[in-house]
Structures are given as C-alpha cells and as structure tokens.
Amino acid sequence: MFRGRKPELTYADVTPKELYFNRRKFLQAMGIAGAAALAGKNLIDLASPPRGVYAGAKFTNLTKSPFSTTEKQNSFEEVSHYNNFYEFGVDKDQPAKNAQKFRTSPWAVSVEGEVKTKRKFTMEEILKLAPLEERIYRHRCVEGWSIVVPWIGFSFSVLAKLVEPTPKAQFVAFESYWDLGQMPKARPELAGIQFPYVEGLRMDEAMHPLTLLCVGMYDDVLPNQDGAPVRMVIPWKYGFKSIKSLVKIRFVPKEPPTTWNLANAHEYGFYSNVNPNVDHPRWSQARERRLGEIFKRATLMFNGYEDQVSSLYTGMDLKKYY
C-alpha cells in the first residue's frame, strides 16, 4: 500500500520536465531515499508506465489548436482497437493484440536527402522540438469509416525548417519501421502490400500547418497500434497517407513511390485527398460511417478542411490526380 500523502502522485508531479521521458535518469535523480519514499504500488506504476516507454505521465500544458474540430470525439477504446496497421495483421482488431510487445525505445528518425543539414533525431529530441499541441482532427479511412481523435504533436514544418530543405526538395518521402522479428505478419504474401510501408507528400502539402508530426493521443503517448512512437497525420487525406512508426524522412526532387499506389495504382493515387465526388473504383466515397454511429453521414470535400487546403490544388483535375 502507498503510505505517502498523495496516492495519485504521478511522474509529472515529481520530475522536472526534461526528465519526463527518461525513466532511468529519473530514478537516478530521485536517489534511493526518494525512490523509497514513493514505495509500493506507485513505484511499480512508475517502473512500468501504462502505455509506452515515453509515458510515465500524461502530457500536460498542451496548447489548444485553432485547427481542432468541436465534433464529438471517439473514445480512446474505439481509436485504439479498430486499427489499420498491416505490419501487425490485416484485420482491425489485430494491431491492438499483436503490437503489444513492439519495442519503441530507443527510437530515432533520420532526415536525409535534399537538405542542408542531414540529421538523426532521437525520440527524446523530437519531443522537445516544439510545444506539444492537442489537435482534434477528423480521420477518414478510404474504406468508408471515420473517427475523431485528439492527437498530440506539432506541425511537421517545424522539423522540416530545422534541416533546411534545398530548392531541389519538391516532395517528402516517409518510411515506417520494418522488422520481421517483431512484425512476423509484415510480409507481402500475408498482407498484400510491400514493406517497409512508404508514403509521400508534395513539399507544399508537407509544409502546410495542418500536417501533423504526431507523438500522442488522448493526453498520452501513442499506443503501439496507433503508430508509436511517432507518425504523420494528414487530416484532409485518406487515412493510409498518415504513415505510422516513422523511421525515415527524405526530401526528394521527384514524386516518391507510395505503398498503396504500388499495390494497386488503379485504386490508390498519390494524392488521395478525401473527395466525395470521386468514387473508389469499387465503392462510392460520398458517405461514411463514424465509428460508434448507426447512420452514415455525408463525406465532406477534403474531409472538411476545404477552406484551409483547397488552394494547394487550384487548377488540378482531382479526378485525374486522385
């Protein structure tokens, strides 16, 4: 039993901010006496944070984003148990089961290509690049379901500006982690797609303030099945553009290959902007079902972010560039 004054004491209460994300350092800083004072159950809680190794405390002092929707959020339970993450199985309930032991620490993201300063960012560095914001976004899967999620992160442009892309950087290529040892289902013959999972954005899309480098959701780190420890979220595009468990970012001169386009170019284009007027070859995209609801609702142009992003596509035939 905990015998101190404040049984709900958390990591955040007892550590300076810089130490939140390093448990070993934290325990060292506490010293034996401090650790003993915490005693019992709570020390065990600290030693095995609830969701991920960068956890230990819920994120606090999150900046509220003007881009957040006021629509009703889906529950954490819904968002963490209905996933597409083919590295951990192709069924929606499999990632939550199969990603449990996925090791997300240590973690680093290398940034390469047409930049002045190539750089590898550790996860600890990424978490300190900018104030973390809460961004409540609609997320529309190409399969016809949608969710509303309070993501945590900051605009991808923050990181991009740090490495100083050269004028040759016209697109950004993203790559996910891939390790058959930890992801035995991540084989083309089982999943029907190539690995590692790759995605891409045009430079202006990547630099748009809505494009989020995401490190958490619901005030905490990302659950493994939602793309821990760091992923992209591009809310006006179909969900498959929002690549999970990022390890590499390359600034490149040409449009890079993307996983679903490689798998089936006829059905999945490079742009993949949510568009109720352009059907998928096998189904309509006009309506969608919000997880947890019975009746379908109309899908909005650019997933409801038309005012912010339509200017990126002026003059483009969106039936051709789907």
Ligand X SMILES: Nc1nc2c(c(=O)[nH]1)N[C@H]1C(S)=C(S)[C@@H](COP(=O)(O)O)O[C@H]1N2
* Residues contributing to the site for ligand X (CB under 6 A): 83-87, 139, 141, 176, 197, 226-227, 239-240, 242-245
Among residues 42, 65, 84, 225, which is the contact residue for Mo ion, using CB under 5 A?
A: 84
CB of 115 or CB of 141, closer to Mo ion = 141
Question: In whole angstroms, how close is the CB of 88 to ligand X at the nearest point?
Answer: 8
DSSP state of 145: E
Q: Give me 32's structure tokens.
A: 């034996």
Contact by Cβ (8 Å): 42, 56: no
Residue nearest to ligand X (CB): 239
- Select the binding partner of residue 242 from ligand X, Mo ion, none (C-beta < 5 to 8 A, by kind): ligand X
CB of 143 or CB of 204, closer to ligand X = 143
Q: How many CB atoms lie within 10 A of CB 305?
A: 22
Contact by Cβ (8 Å): 185, 88: yes
- Of 227, 30, 94, 246, give the one whose Cα is nearest residue 159: 246
Q: Give me 4's structure tokens.
A: 């101190």
Question: In whole angstroms, how close is the CB of 321 to ligand X at the nearest point?
Answer: 20
Question: In whole angstroms, how close is the CB of 245 to ligand X at the nearest point?
Answer: 6
183-242: which residues touch Mo ion (CB under 5 A)? 239-240
DSSP structure string for 95-132 = HHHHTTT----S-EEEEEESBSS-EEEEHHHHHTSS--
Per-residue contact track with Mo ion, 109 to 138, x per CB under 5 A?
A: ------------------------------
- Select the binding partner of residue 220 from ligand X, Mo ion, none (C-beta < 5 to 8 A, by kind): none
- Select the binding partner of residue 261 from ligand X, Mo ion, none (C-beta < 5 to 8 A, by kind): none
Residue 149 touches Mo ion, criterion: CB under 5 A = no
CB of 114 or CB of 288, closer to ligand X = 288
Q: How many CB atoms lie within 10 A of CB 114?
A: 20
CB of 133 or CB of 199, closer to Mo ion = 199
Question: In whole angstroms, how close is the CB of 133 to ligand X at the nearest point?
Answer: 18
- Select the binding partner of residue 52 from Mo ion, ligand X, none (C-beta < 5 to 8 A, by kind): none
Distance (Å) of CA 210 to CA 48, 233, 237, 246, 261: 34, 9, 11, 18, 23
Identify the three-state secondary structure at position 200. strand
Residue 141 touches Mo ion, criterion: CB under 5 A = yes
Q: Rounded CA gap, 38 and 194, in Å? A: 48
Distance (Å) of CA 262 to CA 175, 192, 226, 242: 14, 11, 23, 16
Per-residue contact track with Mo ion, 236 to 275, x per CB under 5 A?
A: ---xx-----------------------------------
CB of 144 or CB of 209, closer to ligand X = 144
Contact by Cβ (8 Å): 95, 88: yes
Question: In whole angstroms, how close is the CB of 84 to ligand X at the nearest point?
Answer: 4
The CA angle 285-289-293, to the nearest 5 degrees, is 165
CB of 78 or CB of 204, closer to ligand X = 78
- Largest CA-CA distance found in the chain, in angstroms, rounded: 67
Identify the three-state secondary structure at position 296. coil
CB of 141 or CB of 214, closer to Mo ion = 141
Q: Give me 318's structure tokens.
A: 């969106």
- Select the binding partner of residue 197 from ligand X, Mo ion, none (C-beta < 5 to 8 A, by kind): ligand X
CB of 42 or CB of 273, closer to ligand X = 273
Q: Identify the sign of the CA torsion 284, 287, 292, 293.
A: negative
Question: In whole angstroms, how close is the CB of 287 to ligand X at the nearest point?
Answer: 17
Please count the residues of this chain forming the interface with Mo ion, following the rule CB under 5 A: 4
Interface contacts to Mo ion, rule CB under 5 A? 84, 141, 239-240
